[in-house]
Amino acid sequence: MDKKILALAVILIAVLIFAIRTANMAPAYVEGSAEIFVVNNKTVTIVEKDGWGLFTLTVKPKVSGFTLRIEFPEGTRYLIREGDKEVKGEDVFETKIEKETEIIVNFQLSQEKVRKLYSGEGEYYIKIKTTKMPFWNAEYLIYLVPREKK
């Protein structure tokens, strides 16, 4: 009888660990501004010919103290304004979110990536991750598209 209970306990623990690792519950609502829109079922934002792009995220937390991580294509420089502070960097931005926050994202792709994007040779995206252990996590992709000619 004890071996059966032990076996059931081990199975229960394994199932709980699996459930926690695979659960995807967003710790916040992340809303994009007018600079982010949907084209062909993809969330996109425009990149100008000089490589610059801009969008705003409004983050409304369901839980406080989660991590917001923005991953840009390699070689991309950014200037991000979160509340009163401005952060410059390259490739990855990470911050803790405690309350509703507006984040203004200004970025510049490398010239090689801009050339590939405008010639149709490459597809690039910005990945936005929100995480808080044990099971709060979500991932959003914003594809980068060239400005269409008028």
For the stretch 50-100, pLDDT in tens is: 999 999 999 998 888 899 999 999 999 999 999 889 999 999 999 999 999
Give the integer Cα–Cα distance in Å for 145 and 90: 20
> 16-21: long-range contacts (C-beta < 8 A, 24 or more apart)?
19/135, 20/134, 20/135
Q: Are strands 77-82 and 28-32 parallel, antiparallel or unpaired?
A: unpaired
Task: Please state, in angstroms and rounded to a whole number, the distance separating the CA atoms of residues 27 and 133.
Answer: 10
- Mean predicted confidence (pLDDT) in 90-115: 93
Question: Domains in the chain, start-ordered, CATH in brackets?
Answer: 25-146 (2.60.40)
45, 55 Cβ separation under 8 angstroms: yes
How is the beta sheet containing 85-90 ordered, strand by strand?
28-32, 52-61, 101-108, 77-82, 85-90
Query: How many other β-carbons are positioned within 10 Å of the β-carbon of residue 145?
Result: 20
Mention every residue, 6+ apart, whose C-beta is less than 8 A from residue 95.
67, 68, 82, 87
pLDDT, average across residues 109-113? 94
Q: What is the pTM of this model?
A: 0.81
Rounded mean pLDDT of the chain? 89
Cα–Cα distance, 98 to 92 (Å, whole number): 20
Element (H, E) at 23: none
